[in-house]
Amino acid sequence: MSYPFVKPRALRKGGVLGVVSPASAANAEKVAAGVRALEVAGYGVKVFGHALDRGPLYYAGRVEDRVADLHAAFADRQVDAVICTRGGWGSAELLPFLDTKLICGSGKAFLGYSDLTAVQAWMLNECGLVSFQAPMVAADWSKEGGVDLGSWGAALGGVEEWSLGAGEGLRVLRAGTAEGVLTGGCLAIYAESLGTPYAVKAWGGILFLEDIGVKPYQWDRMLTHLRFAGRLEGVGGIVLGDMGQSCEAGEQRLLEEAVLYALRDFAGPIGIGLRSGHVDRGNVTLPWGVRVRLEFEDVGNPRMHFLEAAVEG
């Protein structure tokens, strides 16, 4: 997939968000709380028919019902963007059944993270569609202070240049500068997709990775897997997420050492701590498929600069 990617339409106040559950079953009370928060923030909300389904197992309904909801949300002319209730597991089951023409031609932003990395990788592969690692309805919007509104507004509102830094948790593990297209998501989903037709076919120059419940040796193992699979070739800089949901505070030093060990042959700058994805507060929105510049030479003031708008209009 070559740059530039296809940008969806901007989401502004008054726009309508279509709520779907492509992965695991969501808590109905949390969904309701998240819907209220989105409405208070100035958005219209449309919850699709199977978004609150439960089962079989831990899934949010049958594969065909989850696919039908996702297609309906992208086809609905009243819906401006599609947002997920939560992650979990199950999105990969949908990939063989997704309608490329419908989704890629919709012009709609797709918002989610965690297991939804599988769908976002599919979007990059099939049509280079910019999507967003963004707060979800039940997982983040339902919590007071769960959403970083600054990055949400900048990414989805079409701000041409904006930055993230220490205020969003970013720290430097290895100093340096790098520039390129930002891609990324949940580490486990990327690693497990290797060897399948749904592995990401192209990586940008800047890679962001995060996860939950992943111990230091598991970070080491999966990063080594990506390196051996050639998936770090062409990557100029790496940013890792907030590790607070991966391991206890006492293991944080070991985790950082494990990451640096796994990436010992990687020459570019490395950041860590960016509060996006599996976090306990202020979830930062990141667009996949836009150019960014990492400025990590000043360790006390690390910056990730977004160099273009992520949306059209």
* Residues labelled catalytic: 114, 210, 278
Tokens 């280079």 belong to 128
Q: Can you spell out the DSSP letters for the chain?
A: -PSSPBP-B---TT-EEEEE-SSBPPPHHHHHHHHHHHHHTT-EEEE-TTTT--BSTTBBS-HHHHHHHHHHHHH-TT-SEEEES--SS-GGGGGGG--HHHHHTS--EEEE-GGGHHHHHHHHHHH-B-EEE---IIIIITSTT-B-HHHHHHHHHT-SSEEE-GGGT-EEEE--EEEEEEEEEEHHHHHHHTTSTTS-S---SEEEEE-SS--HHHHHHHHHHHHHTTTTTT--EEEEE-GGGTS-GGGHHHHHHHHHHHTTT--S-EEEEE--SS-SS-BPPEEETSEEEEE-SSTTS-EEEE-S-SSB-
Q: How many residues does the chain have?
A: 313
